[in-house]
Amino acid sequence: MPDSLCINGTLPNTPDGWNDLLVPMDTMGILLGVVLILGGVASTLPQWYNILKSRSSAGLSYLWLFLGNVNQYSAAINIFMLKYPQVDACSVVGFAKCAPSLLSMFQLFVLWIFTFPIFVFYIIFTPQDLRRIEDANGDVVGSRREFKLGKTFFGLLILFIFVIALTTLILLAKDGPCDHTSYIFGYTMGLVSTIATFIQWSPQIYKTFKAKTVGTFSILMLLIQWPGNLLTIYFLIFVSHESVSTWLSYVSAAIQIAVLLVLLIYYHFKNKRAKADYMVINDAVVNMDGDDISPSSQSPPLGSKLASNDEYQPLLIDE
């Protein structure tokens, strides 16, 4: 544990020593921390709205959901372990005085709390997507196989959360926050978060590139998250002075979110323009007797049924 938080491997034993653990933060720094917490919550709400409105998980990758939760949860445990002496300081100096030093920890925990339910929505609504595929005579076998993997990864996530939480409690109770083992565990969780972030966005980027459609993935969510990530990096490094193991994952995320955002915006406008052109052509196709012989007057092909509305296009098949 760094000397600024633990003195010779132990917690302070004087009021002044506890005060020295806290990070000096002016009003603007506190305001930025609060805004980042609220922004983190706001960034997840468009995705919640899209899924709950359409009652569909179309466009979501279970690997993206799994790795995203591992990333956020590991980051929360990382900062909790490394800042635990500051958490302890609250009982001595009072919550109002120590709260600014814990804003970054609140931010990471709140973001994970609002990210986890998206995976739950995936588990709840994917069976409805499977029924839509089956009704449209689509390849439901491949989609069911993917959903089975999704449920497996959801179970692994629950196991991961339980094991890490139990390990954290045991280390704090047995060795304390200033023990070297506790510090290594906290730092390692930060590296796990960084690795998970590095590979988190790859399945979603690949799936978006392959499907060439947005699905129920929220562009607005990413438009909020990306600048929020940049502000978070600034806050963690220059305001809250966190460990590199805490903010490195945000640097990785900012780069990959930018790539995915470009793809989603490109396909959104490309598909919107293609749909408009298709409608113009259909309106112009009329036979000599005045009967409409455009595809819109006939039974639409399977591909059109699934692609006519991104909200209902289940992007579940990997083949």
Task: Please give the model's pTM, rounded to 2 decimal places.
Answer: 0.74
Highest averaged pLDDT of the listed ranges 6-15, 159-168, 298-307 = 159-168
| Domain limits, the chain | 15-312
pLDDT band at 168 (very low <50, low <70, confident <90, very high): very high
Please tell me the distance from the alpha carbon of residue 69 to that of residue 172, in angstroms, as a whole number.
Answer: 23
- Reported as a single tens digit per residue, the pLDDT across 231-269 is 989 999 999 888 888 999 889 889 888 999 999 999 988
Q: Cα(40)–Cα(49) distance, rounded to whole angstroms?
A: 15
The torsion of the CA quartet 255, 259, 265, 268, rounded to 10 degrees, works out to: -140
Residue 296 CB partners (closer than 8 Å, separation 6+): 279, 282
Band of pLDDT at residue 9, cut at 50, 70 and 90: low
Sign for the CA dihedral angle at 241, 9, 193, 151 comes to negative
Rounded CA-CA distance 218/199 in Å is: 20
Give the C-alpha separation, 257 to 265, whole Å. 12
| pLDDT tier, 218 (very low <50, low <70, confident <90, very high otherwise) | confident
% residues pLDDT > 90 (the chain): 40
The single-letter code of the amino acid at 234 is Y
Count of all residues that appear for the chain in the document = 319
Residue 253 host element (H or E): helix 244-284
The Cα–Cα gap between 251 and 257 comes to 10
Which one is predicted more confidently, 280 or 125?
A: 125
pLDDT tens-place string over residues 13-24:
787 888 888 888
Structure tokens at 184: 């290594």
* Whether pLDDT at 148 is above 90: yes
Q: Could you give the CA distance from residue 147 to residue 149 in angstroms, rounded to a whole number? A: 5
Of 236, 229, 235, 219, give the one whose Cα is nearest residue 251. 229
Is residue 307 scored above 50 in pLDDT? no
Rounded to the nearest angstrom, the gap between the alpha carbon of residue 219 and the centroid of all alpha carbons in its chain is 13
Where b means 16+ CB within 10 Å and e means fewer, 265-275 reads eebeeeeeeee
